[in-house]
């Protein structure tokens, strides 16, 4: 028997959230997905509120992962402690609210989900995600294990994929909001993609109005970033996992246009 796990890219703004709400249930049904991990760090563009977290769970997310914007909406802090289904990066300082990994039930099987953040080109000094995984791996033995590696650089994400090849079910990247074309199974059986992409406005720069981004890169003063108008795209990857080996048989892109 196989398990089918859907991983969905960063939800951007109210329109991204609305796209998720309207489409995720049907998408899970048509893909026969058993479990769904959604990165929710941009529902408020910077961060998310507890209400937005609840909406994602209601829409069909089984676990919400985050990233560099995890703590930007301050009313999320107690929610991170109270809600079991939301994770912030595991390699943030241990005194920060919430948790970075947990195990969940997936149709009778145990699934571990881990959220990590990268260190290349990020304004953070988190713990080393690679050595943190060394200490975590024994604790997830016997589980299907999925890693959301929220990182900027493609090399850092690829290195994590190869380090964990054969040891976890899948490693998927988030944060860049741009889907990559390298969804595949690595040589020792771990599913991999460098970046899922996003769930947000299709005609935009990472979900933001293009003219604001152009203005910023031209050196102008920028107004507060706003989500772009228009239809959304939902970028995801479906991983098919062998229930015996817990390794990946297939990693397929699912790019849905609203
Ligand atoms: Fe991010
Ligand atoms: Fe993001």
pLDDT tens-digit series, residues 38-57: 999 999 999 999 999 999 99
CA–centroid distance, residue 84 to ligand 2 (Å): 21
Q: Tell whether the torsion through CA atoms of 152, 154, 156 and 160 is positive or negative.
A: positive
* Residue 222: predicted pLDDT: 81
CA–centroid distance, residue 42 to ligand 1 (Å): 8
Write b or e for each residue in 140-179: b if 16 or more Cβ atoms lie within 10 A of its Cβ, otherwise e: beebbbbbbbbbbbeebbbbbbeebbebbbbbbbbbbbeb
**CA angle centred on 35, ends 198 and 171, rounded to 5°:** 60
List Cβ neighbours of 130 (8 Å cut-off, separation of 6 or more).
159, 160, 163
Express each pLDDT in 59-108 by its tens digit: 999 999 999 999 999 999 999 999 999 999 999 999 999 999 999 999 99
Q: Which residue has the tokens 């709400």?
A: 21
Express each pLDDT in 121-180 by its tens digit: 887 789 999 999 999 999 999 999 999 999 999 999 999 999 999 999 999 999 999 999
Instruction: Look at residue 213 and tell me whether its pLDDT is greater than 90.
Output: yes
- DSSP notation for 130-189: HHHHHHHGGGGTTSEEEEEEE-S-HHHHHHHHHHTTTTSSEEEEESS-S--S--EE-TTS
CA–centroid distance, residue 104 to ligand 1 (Å): 24
How far apart are the C-alpha atoms of 191 and 44, rounded to whole Å? 30
C-alpha distances in angstroms, 182 versus 6, 154, 161, 172, 193?
A: 16, 11, 12, 11, 6
Q: How does residue 221 score in pLDDT terms, banded at 50, 70 and 90?
A: confident
Q: How does residue 32 score in pLDDT terms, banded at 50, 70 and 90?
A: very high
How far apart are the C-alpha atoms of 3 and 108, rounded to whole Å? 11
Neighbours of ion ligand 1 (CB under 5 A): 67-68, 175
CA–centroid distance, residue 198 to ligand 2 (Å): 8
Write b or e for each residue in 85-122: b if 16 or more Cβ atoms lie within 10 A of its Cβ, otherwise e: ebbbbbbbeeeeebebbbebebeebebbbbbbbbbeeb
**Contact status, residue 196 vs residue 7, Cβ threshold 8 Å:** yes
Coil, strand or helix: which one is 242? strand
Q: Which domains does the chain have, with CATH numbers?
A: 2-257 (3.60.21.10)
Q: Does the predicted TM-score (pTM) go above 0.85?
A: yes
Asked about 120 being catalytic, the answer comes back as no
């Amino acid at each position: 028997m196989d398990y089918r796990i859907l991983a969905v890219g960063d939800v951007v703004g109210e329109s991204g959230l609305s796209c998720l709400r309207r489409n995720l249930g049907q998408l899970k049904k048509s893909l026969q997905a058993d479990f769904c991990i959604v990165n929710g760090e941009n529902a408020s563009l910077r961060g998310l509120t507890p209400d937005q977290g609840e909406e994602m769970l209601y829409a069909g997310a089984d676990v919400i992962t985050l990233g560099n914007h995890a703590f930007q909406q301050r009313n999320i802090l107690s929610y991170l402690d109270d809600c079991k289904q939301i994770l912030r990066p595991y390699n943030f300082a241990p005194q920060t609210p919430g948790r970075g990994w947990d195990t969940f039930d997936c149709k009778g099987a145990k699934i571990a989900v881990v959220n990590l953040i990268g260190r290349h080109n990020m304004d953070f000094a988190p713990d080393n995600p690679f050595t943190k995984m060394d200490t975590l791996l024994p604790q997830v033995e016997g589980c299907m294990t999925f890693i959301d590696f929220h990182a900027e650089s493609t090399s850092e994400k690829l290195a994590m994929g190869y380090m964990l090849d054969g040891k976890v079910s899948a490693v998927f990247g988030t944060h860049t909001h741009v889907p990559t074309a390298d969804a595949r199974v690595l040589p020792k059986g771990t599913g991999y993609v460098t970046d899922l992409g996003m769930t947000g406005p299709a005609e935009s720069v990472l979900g933001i109005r293009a003219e604001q981004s152009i203005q910023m890169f031209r050196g102008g003063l920028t107004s507060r970033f706003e989500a772009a108008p228009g239809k959304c795209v939902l970028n995801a990857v479906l991983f098919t996992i062998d229930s015996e080996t817990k390794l990946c048989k297939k990693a397929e892109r699912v790019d849905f246009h609203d």
